[in-house]
Amino acid sequence: QQQVKQSPQSLIVQKGGISIINCAYENTAFDYFPWYQQFPGKGPALLIAIRPDVSEKKEGRFTISFNKSAKQFSLHIMDSQPGDSATYFCAASMGNNFNKFYFGSGTKLNVKP
Amino acid sequence: ETGVTQTPRHLVMGMTNKKSLKCEQHLGHNAMYWYKQSAKKPLELMFVYSLEERVENNSVPSRFSPECPNSSHLFLHLHTLQPEDSALYLCASSQDLQGWNTIYFGEGSWLTVV
């Protein structure tokens, strides 16, 4: 059973637009939710992360919105740029347990110039 | 330059071959991981090592055999693989096993089994 469900599988956005990627989880014991960004030919790299004591975290053009009651969280990329074109993975873990992440299946983002 | 280095970057092997993937981390971390990445599937955690001791083996077939000789090096020994084992194999490391640590990934080894 997939612990973290991610959608959409692929996304095309015009330059300057907002990219939104959604994730849902079932296990209420999860308390750490990172997003990883992966460019072609590279390994995933941490982009931004949130803990459930806040509903939103913003770093530059990237924002995580977290809805604890709905067990959902999303990544918003404002003013999307062609350089943001990559695959994005959400993940969830039990932060005070050992470092075992459950990853979503990924969203391939293509930002058109 | 990534702090986690994987070699080889590409590997083609027959089903009867024996090969190994190598990973080295230059970050002074105590935990290392092997993940499998297949198209349109979530990253699959295969093995976890902490201070050279294996702490997780996610029901991985025995044709995959990990080795961690020290906290900086991790190997994945491969033998009698199947075509469905073709994937990107990612090595990663983190400071320790605390769940809020950032995982640092290498660039991966593309494996094709023919």
* Per-residue pLDDT reduced to its tens digit, A32-76: 999 999 999 899 999 999 998 899 999 999 999 999 999 999 999
Three-state secondary structure call for residue A34 = strand
Most confident range (mean pLDDT) of A14-23, A24-33, A41-50, A93-102 is A14-23
Rounded to a whole number of angstroms, the CA Rg of chain A reads 13
Nearest to B42 among A2, A95, A97 (CB): A2
- Reported confidence tier of residue B99, pLDDT bands at 50, 70, 90: confident
B17-43 burial, b if ≥16 CB within 10 A, otherwise e?
Answer: eebebebbbeeebbbbbbbbbeeeebb
- Residue B69: both structure tokens together: 């000789």
The SS3 of residue A83 is helix
Cα→Cα distances B51→A17, B3, B90, B92, B97, Å:
45, 18, 19, 14, 10
Does residue B1 surpass a pLDDT of 90?
A: no
Question: In B, which residues are within 8 Å of A103 by CB distance?
Answer: 42-43
Residue pair A91/A103 in contact (Cβ under 8 Å)? The answer is yes
pLDDT given at position A101 = 82
Query: Token pair of A110, please?
Result: 């293509």
B55 touches chain A (CB under 8 A): yes
Q: Write down the pLDDT at residue A1.
A: 67
Cβ–Cβ contact B107 with A under 8 A: yes
Q: Which residue matches tokens 């709905």?
A: A70
Phi, psi of B7 (to 5 degrees): -140, 145
- Total number of domains in chain A: 1
Residue numbers in A near B43 (CB within 8 A): 44, 89, 101, 103
- Residue A17 contacts B where some CB pair is shorter than 8 Å: no
CATH number of the domain enclosing A90: 2.60.40.10
> In this predicted structure, what is the pLDDT of residue A94?
83
Asked if residue A52 has a cis previous peptide bond (ω within 30° of 0), the answer is no
Q: CB contacts < 8 Å between A and B, how many? A: 72
Give the integer Cα–Cα distance in Å for B23 and A78: 36
Closest partner residue to A103 among B43, B50, B108, by Cβ? B43
Question: A63 — contact with chain B (CB < 8 Å)?
Answer: no
Residue A71's domain spans which residues? 4-112
- Cβ pair B94:A99 closer than 8 A: yes
CA distance B78 to chain A (A): 21
**Substitution target from A31, A94, A99 for chain B, most B beta carbons within 10 A:** A99
Residue in B with minimal Cα distance to A4? B42
A 72-111 residues with CB below 8 A of B?
89, 93-106
| Percent of chain B whose pLDDT exceeds 90 | 74
Interface touch A99/B55, C-beta < 8 Å: no
